[in-house]
Amino acid sequence: MPKLSLTDNIGTITKRLFHFVPWSWSISLLCAVSITTILSSPVSGESAQTAPRELKEVIREIEEAANRQNVAEVMRLYSPNFTNSDGLSHSSLSEALTQMWKKYPRLNYSTKLQSWEKQGDRFVAETITNIQGVRKSGDRSIELNSTIRSRQHFANQKVIKQEILTERTQITTGTNPPQITLNLPQTVSVGQKFGFDVIVNEPLGTQVLLGAAMEDKIDSNRYLNPGEFELQALPAGGIFKLVQAPKAPETLWYSAIVIREDGITAITQRVRVKQ
């Protein structure tokens, strides 16, 4: 880790850190290729145990292709007319997966179906994704852990439509990355004020702590062109913000990064703004 000091220029520190911190919160583009751990009650429908063989089979094929990082095989299981709630298309999903797997050549996908129902000639399945992986940047290891819940529509053994319901991703690096607690709702009402708190769970002592937080609109451009932070000193041991939801329904990413001499923790969560 680079040594940090309160006397350092914040812009200089940002440049030193971001050349190895993969601050691309495009993890949600991977949610269709994996489904795991229950986060909340599934939508009404049939239990996973009663799912038809063809639905289970396509989910298994997607997972296995993703674990091999075979972009062509994954995209074969997506309709050419695929749509995504974040604005991804078949081609932009393929491009984003290619870039993501270049950064993370070792990702592990585990899968589990939550619930399903038949709608005409389609299957609608609610799934939950867990993705874990490690990448190397010089002598540093960067660890990723992401959990995403989504609703997906299948027709003719292909994914044709996808809606991201919940998402949280954490990236850590260093010998002792800060242990943090993120207090942030997953769903809010339009115009609602709510807390966006990132709390460091350990005493600061004499260590310098830097950090930043930001709100970002979710659209397909952000998958390939993520935002950057303006770092500030955090003498209070965390980030404590009161934010207000937009006046119209939409979905936002809320992201934060906490940095100290011996480690970095970055986290993002999706917040859905409802009427």
Q: Which residues contact 186 (CB under 8 A, 6 or more apart)?
A: 166, 269, 270, 271, 272
Task: Sketch out the chain's domains with CATH numbers.
Answer: 10-274 (3.10.450.50)
HEC sequence for 205-256: CCCCEEEEEEEEECCHHHHHCCCCCCCEECCCCEEEEEEECCCCCEEEEEEE
pLDDT, position 124: 94
Q: What is the pTM of this model?
A: 0.80
pLDDT, position 139: 81
- 128 burial (CB, 10 Å; 0-12 / 13-18 / 19+) is buried
Strands 187-189 and 263-274: parallel
**pLDDT by 10s per residue, the chain, length 275:** 444 443 444 444 444 444 333 333 334 444 334 333 233 334 456 888 899 999 999 999 998 999 999 999 999 999 999 998 888 899 988 988 888 888 888 889 887 889 999 999 999 999 887 899 998 878 888 898 998 888 999 999 999 999 988 889 899 989 999 999 999 999 999 999 999 999 999 887 777 889 999 888 876 555 545 566 778 888 888 999 999 999 999 999 899 999 988 899 999 899 999 98
HEC sequence for the chain: CCCCCCCCCHHHHHHHHHCCCCCCCCHHHHHHHCCCCCCCCCCCCEEHHHCCHHHHHHHHHHHHHHHCCCHHHHHHCEEEEEEECCCCCHHHHHHHHHHHHHHCCCEEEECCEEEEEEECCEEEEEEEEEEEEEEEECCEEEEEEEEEEEEEEEECCEEEEEEEEEEEEEEEECCCCCCEEEECCCEEECCCEEEEEEEECCCCCCCCEEEEEEEEECCHHHHHCCCCCCCEECCCCEEEEEEECCCCCEEEEEEEEEEECCEEEEEEEEEEEEC
Q: Which residues contact 132 (CB under 8 A, 6 or more apart)?
A: 107, 108, 143, 144, 145, 146
pLDDT, position 229: 72
User: What is the Cα–Cα distance from 2 to 214, expressed in whole angstroms?
Assistant: 23
β-sheet bridge partners, residue 170:
145, 267
